[in-house]
Amino acid sequence: MKRPLVAGIACALVLPAATTAASPITVFAAASLTGVLPRISAAPRYSFAGSDQLALQLQQGAPADVYAAASPKYPELLYHQGLLRKPIVFATNRLVLIAPRSNPARIGSVYDLRRAGIKLVIGDKGVPIGAYTRQILDTIGISADVLKNVVSEETDVKGIVGKVALGEADAGFVYATDARPAIARVKVVPLPAWAQPPIRYEIAVVKGGREAAARAFVGRVTGKLGRAALSKAGFGLPKR
pLDDT of 229 reads 98
Contacting residues for 229 by C-beta, under 8 A, at least 6 apart: 36, 39, 40
> Residue 120's domain is classified under what CATH number?
3.40.190.10
Q: Say if 6 falls within a structural domain.
A: no
CA 58 to CA 52: how far, in whole Å? 10
pTM of the model: 0.88
Asked if residue 148 and residue 115 are part of one domain, the reply reads yes
Asked if residue 62 and residue 77 are part of one domain, the reply reads yes
The arithmetic mean of pLDDT across residues 28-49, rounded, is 97
Q: Say if 239 falls within a structural domain.
A: no
* Residue 36 pLDDT exceeds 50: yes
* Residue 111 pLDDT exceeds 90: yes
Asked if residue 170 and residue 102 are part of one domain, the reply reads yes
Query: What is the tens place of the pLDDT at every residue in 56-96?
Result: 999 999 999 999 999 999 999 999 999 999 999 999 999 99
Enclosing domain of residue 85 = 23-92+200-232
* Residue 240 pLDDT exceeds 80: no
The arithmetic mean of pLDDT across residues 165-191, rounded, is 96
> What average pLDDT is seen over the chain?
92
- Percentage of the chain beyond pLDDT 70 is 91
**Interior/surface letters 143-182, b for 16+ CB within 10 angstroms, e for the rest:** eeebeebbebbbbbbbbbbbbbbeeebbbbbbbbbbbeeb
Contacting residues for 40 by C-beta, under 8 A, at least 6 apart: 220, 221, 225, 226, 229, 230
Q: Say if 238 falls within a structural domain.
A: no
Asked if residue 108 and residue 174 are part of one domain, the reply reads yes
Asked if residue 143 and residue 59 are part of one domain, the reply reads no
Q: Say if 77 falls within a structural domain.
A: yes
Asked if residue 215 and residue 189 are part of one domain, the reply reads no
The arithmetic mean of pLDDT across residues 172-196, rounded, is 96
* Residue 39 pLDDT exceeds 60: yes
Q: How many domains does the chain have?
A: 2
Asked if residue 107 and residue 60 are part of one domain, the reply reads no
pLDDT of 19 reads 37
* Residue 52 pLDDT exceeds 50: yes
72 or 9: which carries more pLDDT confidence? 72
Task: Please work out, in degrees rounded to the nearest 5, the angle formed at the alpha carbon of residue 227 by the alpha carbons of 134 and 183.
Answer: 55
